[in-house]
Chains A and B, each alone.
Chain A
Amino acid sequence: MSGFLDSIRCGDCECNVDWGEKRNTIASVAAGVLFFTGWWIIIDAAVKYPDQDNFNHAYHACGVIATVAFLMINAVSNGQVRGDSYSEGCLGQTGARVWLFIGFMLAFGSLIASMWILFGGFVVPQKAVVYPGIAVFFQNAFIFFGGLVFKFGRTEDLWQ
């Protein structure tokens, strides 16, 4: 019993973790947290205010378009847009650029639309319950930033 704490070593961890190699993993996890938190915020708002008067169901379209934009942005790799990947893909370099352009336009558009919904649909008419508008805004903000982190937080050098 005596001396049973003698073998405990503090700060002896051989943590020579190469954080550069972990960058893609961290970016993927962070993007996952942001994206899915956005969707759970809107699920929460839809559960709390299920009726059309408090939360017009058409406002869900904003988050759906944001998700489509997320998928479009992350479907093409930066290498395909620059033109330095092996295969041309279905659309080629120009097609990849057009696809990415449309994806980013949809992403910015849904973010702007969510702000419009919040102010035009909830703040200006001074609705009794503002929370659904805030939820739509935060959903789209989280999905947008999740998409950005997933797209630009990862480096394709680690794929070689």
Chain B
Amino acid sequence: MAGIKALVGLSFSGAIGLTFLLLGCALEQYGVYWPLFVLMFYVVSPIPHFIAKRLSDDTDAASNACRELAYFFTTGIVVSAFGLPVVLARADVIYWGACGLVMAGNAVIFLTILGFFVVFGGGDDFSWEQW
């Protein structure tokens, strides 16, 4: 296990990211909660990676088509999490300031999720029996 410090650091950055997202919704001058739909993208973003890891048993190959497809879909989910606030702001459903806060929150949260995979995901001792 990579340690408590990494876990605490990642949870702190996750909290900061969610704070940005909620500020974009709850500040007095914004007041609408439509940006919370990006939470759906946060939850879905690790799923392609897990599916690809589960389906491909041969880890000696440098890469395989399933893993690359998972990267493709994960990138799509990340792009969509940035695209949704922009479309909402252009349609005047939310203010541009709220859009900016949501995009900052997106960046921090996705870096946190990436950090989780970098710190805790690698290694041969990752086995499905843990679950």
Contact = CB atoms under 8 A, between A and B. Distances in A.
Interface stretch (B14-22, B64-72, B101-109, B119-127): B64-72
B23 to A, nearest CB: 24
Interface string B58-83: 00011111001101111110011001
B72 A28 contact: yes
Contacts of A154: 68
Contact of B72 (A21, A31, A77): A31
Nearest to B62: A158
Contacts of B62: 21, 158-159
Contact of B64 (A21, A29, A37, A159): A159
A44 B80 CA distance: 12
Interface of A: 21, 24-25, 27-29, 31-33, 35-37, 40, 43-44, 47-48, 77, 150, 154, 158-160
A47 B80 CA distance: 15
B76 A36 contact: yes
Nearest to A24: B63
B80 A40 contact: yes
Q: In terms of DSSP, what is the predominant structure of the interface of chain B?
A: helix
The residue in A40, A158, A160 that gathers the most chain B C-beta atoms within 10 A of its C-beta is A40
A69 to B, nearest CB: 16
A29 B75 contact: yes
Q: What are the nearest 6 A-B pairs in CB distance? A: A32-B75, A40-B83, A36-B76, A28-B71, A36-B79, A28-B68
A36 to B, nearest CB: 4
A24 B68 contact: yes
A12 B123 CA distance: 24
B77 to A, nearest CB: 8
A84 to B, nearest CB: 16
B40 interface: no
